[in-house]
Chain A
């Protein structure tokens, strides 16, 4: 394991989520959703709420640790951390911070959580109507470049040009999400299958992204609980161990006005090799994959950067047959993911990785032992997680 010291020292012992809603349909406040998801994860772990002593989140979560600890009556919280940056880039990073806190002895039971009620707060896909703009956005907004769908599309288009990736790869990712969601009663799109014809007919958001190439907008919350491998032996649920968890981004990845030097990249090229080294495994050892999909086209690039295929091999790998459980070569987004289970900024992907390793997924990969999660392609930092049973 070289210089890394996290492998198998920490386990995920509880997972939970609220009902997942379409945007604006949650009957309670975002803070209530956060509390509910945390309490469900606590119950799943079989611990007392009073044993919780750490909070970790990301993406500027509005439900801060102080309020949660107070509302939940936590006797003493010893850890509170946030991963910098917006979007889903910090999902696995929050797990990394929680794992580091547990491994170093700062806290015993750390909850990683994300709550999101886009119906109660702003939407990510709409710009604020300002008169003037200063700073980095002054170089993009006046040209109508406002939202992630657009800057992700610009990168994906360049990758498509360089590596002959076509719309078929994007469609395969989306159809895999919807395929798996039909097996998952938690999924917002459960009971709403999608055909290739519906996909092709759906309106453009920004080419090459149809409506269905974009993640949903949802209300809900999800949470998971980490503790030491030693304490995990006594908890109720089957422990799932953290093999590796890390955040990071390559050289000048956040250069403004579209100036990141390695442009048509998902930002995992420097992170993924560290992740595998930390875990002591390679991509061939991974049984099931959850790759953050804000927009479909980023996923094949993320797969490349995690070593699942060569850049020119995405069309061969990214077929519906290959990406679906139980028999696909590389089952992907087995809960329905951000597009068809719930857009919980990718925390639902981490809970799904845990379910796969427990053998409890609605679209179980037979004998799945090792699951990989990639959080937030094309942002800085991005983050990664490998768990195993």
Chain B
């Protein structure tokens, strides 16, 4: 029996599931393999996130999943206290981070800043994606 994996947030929050139309299946499958991918237009090479069926720059429809390093810049973060979901009721504060990815055209992703929830991280600090495996999905932290 494997030891219970340590998650940043309590269990019981909604788990991500690919959209029924298949638009973002590639993202969640890559996360399962511990790879970070971002949509990129095959025609004009523009990065795009969140995913969409059409490129916002050239309106082309051939969007590929492009692997990126997972290194980014801490664009903004907040310490959240109010239990806005039943699973967070006794959890205490946690940090929500928005990270900008320079090697993906500056797109941003949301995650948690792992470690002490009372830390005061400097804005624009360098951060790196960590993959958190749950039974049904992998979160990019």
A207-B79 in contact given A133-B14, A257-B109 (Cβ < 8 Å): yes
Q: Which residues of B contact A259 (CB under 8 A)?
A: 49-50, 107-108
Q: Which residues of A contact B112 (CB under 8 A)?
A: 143-144
Interface flag for A59 (CB, 8 Å)? no
Contact in complex: B84, A127 (CB < 8 Å): yes
A150-B108 in contact given A144-B94, A161-B123, A252-B56 (Cβ < 8 Å): no
Interface flag for A78 (CB, 8 Å)? no
Q: How far is the CA of A304 from the CA of B64 in the complex (A)?
A: 39
Contact in complex: A133, B17 (CB < 8 Å): yes
Contact in complex: B110, A145 (CB < 8 Å): yes
Contact in complex: A144, B9 (CB < 8 Å): yes
Contact in complex: B86, A143 (CB < 8 Å): no
Contact with A along B66-89 (1 / 0, CB 8 A): 000000000111111110111110
For B49, B81, B96, which residue has the most chain A Cβ atoms within 10 angstroms? B96
Q: Which residues of B contact A157 (CB under 8 A)?
A: 76-78
Interface flag for A66 (CB, 8 Å)? no
Contact with B15, one of A131, A150, A161 (Cβ below 8 angstroms): A131
A154-B98 in contact given A132-B16, A143-B139, A263-B75 (Cβ < 8 Å): yes
Q: Which residues of B contact A137 (CB under 8 A)?
A: 14
Q: How far is the CB of B101 from chain A (nearest CB, A)?
A: 11
Interface flag for B60 (CB, 8 Å)? no
Q: Which residues of A contact B76 (CB under 8 A)?
A: 154-155, 157-158, 161, 263-264
Q: How far is the CA of A372 from the CA of B96 in the complex (A)?
A: 34
Binds B, one of A198-206, A314-322, A327-335: A198-206
Contact in complex: A142, B98 (CB < 8 Å): no
Q: How far is the CB of B30 from chain A (nearest CB, A)?
A: 14
Contact in complex: A154, B139 (CB < 8 Å): no
Nearest-CB residue, chain A, relative to B124: A161
Q: Which residues of B contact A129 (CB under 8 A)?
A: 12, 85-87
Interface flag for A135 (CB, 8 Å)? yes
Contact in complex: B96, A130 (CB < 8 Å): no
Contact with B along A94-129 (1 / 0, CB 8 A): 000000000000000000000000000000011101
Contact with A258, one of B9, B19, B28, B110 (Cβ below 8 angstroms): B110
Nearest-CB residue, chain A, relative to B111: A143
Q: How far is the CB of A381 from chain B (nearest CB, A)?
A: 18
Q: How far is the CA of A208 from the CA of B120 in the complex (A)?
A: 13
For B56, B77, B78, B84, which residue has the most chain A Cβ atoms within 10 angstroms? B78
Q: Which residues of B contact A208 (CB under 8 A)?
A: 78
Nearest-CB residue, chain A, relative to B78: A153
Q: Which residues of A contact B20 (CB under 8 A)?
A: 134
Contact in complex: A139, B13 (CB < 8 Å): no
Interface flag for B102 (CB, 8 Å)? no
Interface residues of B in 92-125 (CB under 8 A from A): 93-94, 96, 98, 107-112, 123
Contact in complex: A257, B139 (CB < 8 Å): no
By a beta-carbon cutoff of 8 Å, the part of chain B in contact with chain A is 9, 12-20, 24, 28, 49-50, 56, 75-82, 84-88, 93-94, 96, 98, 107-112, 123, 136-137, 139, 141
13 A-B pairs with CB atoms under 8 Å apart are A129-B86, A134-B16, A138-B16, A138-B19, A141-B16, A142-B16, A144-B88, A145-B80, A150-B80, A154-B96, A161-B76, A206-B78, A208-B78
Seed contacts A138-B28, A141-B14, A143-B110; 20 additional CB < 8 Å A-B pairs? A129-B86, A129-B87, A132-B15, A134-B20, A139-B109, A140-B110, A143-B9, A143-B111, A144-B85, A145-B80, A149-B84, A161-B123, A203-B81, A204-B79, A207-B78, A207-B79, A258-B108, A259-B50, A263-B75, A264-B76
